[in-house]
Amino acid sequence: MPLSVGNQLSDWLETSAPKNAEDGPLFKIFWRRVVLDEGHTIKNHKSGLAISSCAIETESRWIVTGTPIQNKTLDLYSLIKFLRVSPFDEYKVWKREVESNSMAATRRLSSLVSSLLLRRTKDQTNKETGKKLVDLPKKSTIVHKIKLSEDESSVYDLIQKFSKNMFTQYLRKDTSANNDCKASVGMPSDVLGLNIEEALAMFGLKNVSAVNAGCILVLVLRLRQCCGHLSLMCEAVDPDLQKSEGIDLPLDEHFGNLSIHQDLFEKQNSRPRELLPSFPSTKIKALIKCLKDLQYQSLGTKSIKSVIVSQWTRMLEIVADHLKKQMFKLDFITGSVSAKNRSDIVEKFNNDEDLQILLISLKAGGVGLNLVGGSHLFLLDQHWNPALEEQACDRVYRVGQQNDVVIHRFLCENTVEERIVKLQEQKKSLANNVLYGEKSQKLTLDDLKMLFGISQFK
């Protein structure tokens, strides 16, 4: 009997599998075939899910994934380990022979991938007939370029200048100037009626130092959040957010964020109105306008359904509150929704005419959801990993879709979001280069310089 490792079984492997593989009943069976669906979920070879999956004994091993590489070539190692491709399933061998940045290593990786991978994409055609392998409706993308309001721009400029100063100190390994950074040349004296000390405390940046790389990522996070809704920056960098953003905060900075957040949360009514969740941000206004246009287009006909995606659950909650005020009927799917409830919500969205909008988190929407009831998908923010966005788009653009699909991307002009798009293009190039056997490349410190707007560093 073949074993297919899907979502529910992978949850068990991650949370309930015995510490020693031989102690679990699943590991005492010698399977004929194990099919690892959504195989990219084991990309972290140190995770419990990856370790448990690799411990299963079987005659044949298959992996099904649309994104074998998401960020770096190391993502492939865990898949190779699961497949037990000797000697490359040994980490030391992989690092020495595949990730050594030599031409020989690049050729070796190309040969390894081409011998193992059977790749199929939606735009591929049958060589004999010329017809597409999968017959789907048209898909188009609309990029909505928006400008931050004057108040939003003032906050963004403050965070941008503060972050640029901090990152410059980080590059110079200059720890003595941390306290003077806030008063550096080019910093405004106040923003939204708050002095600089109050504003930085409000955004959880008062304790950030230029010593730790994790703190630098906090600064990038705040810049990105500023483009969505200013109130997001008043939220603590909690453990879940740290994990999803790859942020490793020192203990003192971590508790500093929490204590600042708690103190200001109790005084929320004293915040400037632009920092309250009830205040409509420029991006939310643009979203509502798009949704109302679709609503008007569908008058007297079948309603047009939309899926709204954000990488931050809190952003979805804020958006939901604003949409409810506009009388839109909606539902949620985030990582906290159980598998059963998730299936019920999907069924309702695809078949209930009254349910117009489904809000999903980028992480929850990346795997195992069939949302062909929707034909418009809105990506509210930019993520480092373009593969996650592509997976979210594939929730609506897949077999069973009967309508043309439109992907809406919101992009704040002259902000970090434009720079993130450039990084996305590089990451796509990295994945395509490896999969198609071309020269590989890696992201460097120059990418961070570009994000902070530092053209050169002396």
Question: Which pLDDT score, from 0 to 100, does residue 264 have?
Answer: 47
Question: Which pLDDT score, from 0 to 100, does residue 417 have?
Answer: 93
Instruction: Please provide the average confidence, as pLDDT, over all residues in the chain.
Output: 80
Closest by CA position to 254, among listed 237, 240, 241? 237
pLDDT band at 108 (very low <50, low <70, confident <90, very high): confident
Mean pLDDT value of segment 43-70: 88
Mean pLDDT value of segment 364-376: 85
For 13-40, what is each residue's pLDDT tens digit?
555 555 555 567 888 889 999 999 888 8
Question: Which pLDDT score, from 0 to 100, does residue 310 have?
Answer: 95
The percent of residues above 90 in pLDDT, for the chain, comes to 36
Closest by CA position to 72, among listed 107, 108, 109, 35? 109
Question: Which pLDDT score, from 0 to 100, does residue 440 have?
Answer: 38
For 145-199, what is each residue's pLDDT tens digit?
999 999 999 999 999 988 888 888 877 765 554 444 444 556 777 788 888 888 8
CB neighbours of residue 218 within 10 Å: 25
For the record, the structure tokens of 101 come out as: 């940045």
The partner residues of 33 in beta bridges, in order of sequence, read: 60
Domains within the chain, CATH numbers bracketed: 25-116 (3.40.50.10810), 139-146+279-435+444-448 (3.40.50.300), 150-277 (no CATH)
Q: Backbone phi, then psi, for 36, in 5-degree steps? A: -95, 95
- The yes-or-no verdict on residue 252 having pLDDT over 80 is no
**Mutual orientation of helices 213-228 and 150-172 as an angle, nearest 10°?**
170
**Between the ranges 110-119, 228-237, 401-410, where is the mean pLDDT highest?**
401-410
The larger pLDDT score, comparing residue 91 to residue 209, is at: 91
pLDDT band at 227 (very low <50, low <70, confident <90, very high): very high
Question: Which pLDDT score, from 0 to 100, does residue 221 have?
Answer: 87
- The yes-or-no verdict on residue 220 having pLDDT over 70 is yes
Neighbour-count burial of 85, counting CB atoms closer than 10 A to its CB (0-12 exposed, 13-18 middle, 19+ buried) = middle
Mean pLDDT value of segment 269-276: 83
Question: CA angle, corner 326, sides to 321 and 328, nearest 5?
Answer: 80
Contact 243, 231 (CB under 8 A): no
The partner residues of 306 in beta bridges, in order of sequence, read: 357, 376
| One-letter amino acid for residue 375 of the chain | S
pLDDT band at 396 (very low <50, low <70, confident <90, very high): very high
- The yes-or-no verdict on residue 257 having pLDDT over 70 is no
Mean pLDDT value of segment 445-451: 68
Rounded distance between C-alpha atoms, residue 407 and residue 379, angstroms: 8
Question: Which pLDDT score, from 0 to 100, does residue 125 have?
Answer: 80
- The yes-or-no verdict on residue 327 having pLDDT over 80 is yes
CB neighbours of residue 310 within 10 Å: 27
Question: Which pLDDT score, from 0 to 100, does residue 240 have?
Answer: 67
Question: Which pLDDT score, from 0 to 100, does residue 230 have?
Answer: 94
DSSP β-ladder status, 194-195 and 190-191: antiparallel
Question: Which pLDDT score, from 0 to 100, does residue 375 have?
Answer: 96
Rounded distance between C-alpha atoms, residue 335 and residue 338, angstroms: 8
Dihedral (Cα; 163, 168, 171, 172), 10-degree rounding? -140
- The yes-or-no verdict on residue 259 having pLDDT over 90 is no
Lowest-confidence segment of 224-233, 382-391, 440-449 by average pLDDT: 440-449
| One-letter amino acid for residue 42 of the chain | I
**Mutual orientation of helices 103-116 and 416-435 as an angle, nearest 10°?**
70
| One-letter amino acid for residue 363 of the chain | K
Mean pLDDT value of segment 353-380: 89
**The overall pTM is greater than 0.85:** no
Rounded distance between C-alpha atoms, residue 205 and residue 261, angstroms: 10
For the record, the structure tokens of 380 come out as: 């509210």
CB neighbours of residue 442 within 10 Å: 11
Mean pLDDT value of segment 59-81: 85
Contact 15, 7 (CB under 8 A): no
pLDDT band at 62 (very low <50, low <70, confident <90, very high): very high
3-state secondary structure the chain: CCEEECHHHHHHHHHCCCCCHHHCHHHHCCEEEEEEECHHHHCCCCCHHHHHHHHCCEEEEEEECCCCCCCCCCHHHHHHHHHCCCCCCCHHHHHHHCCCCCHHHHHHHHHHHHHHCCCCCCCCECCCCCCECCCCCCEEEEEEEECCCHHHHHHHHHHHHHHHHHHHHHHHCCCCCHHHHHHCCCCCCEECCEEHHHHHHHCCCCCCCCCCHHHHHHHHHHHHHHHHCHHHHHCCCCHHHHHHHCCCCCHHHHHHHHHHHHHHHCCHHHCCHHHCCCCCCHHHHHHHHHHHHHHHHCCCCCCCCEEEEECCHHHHHHHHHHHHHCCCCEEEECCCCCHHHHHHHHHHHHHCCCCCEEEEECCHHHCCCCCCCCCEEEECCCCCCHHHHHHHHCCCCCCCCCCCEEEEEEEECCCHHHHHHHHHHHHHHHHHHHHCCCCCCCCCHHHHHHHCCCCCCC
- The yes-or-no verdict on residue 228 having pLDDT over 80 is yes
- The yes-or-no verdict on residue 452 having pLDDT over 60 is yes
pLDDT band at 254 (very low <50, low <70, confident <90, very high): very low
Rounded distance between C-alpha atoms, residue 1 and residue 94, angstroms: 32
Mean pLDDT value of segment 419-443: 62
pLDDT band at 256 (very low <50, low <70, confident <90, very high): very low
- The yes-or-no verdict on residue 453 having pLDDT over 60 is yes
Mean pLDDT value of segment 106-132: 81
Sheet holding 139-146, edge to edge: 139-146, 405-412, 376-379, 306-310, 357-361, 330-333
- The yes-or-no verdict on residue 294 having pLDDT over 80 is yes
- The yes-or-no verdict on residue 376 having pLDDT over 80 is yes
* Tokens 């590089």 -> residue: 426
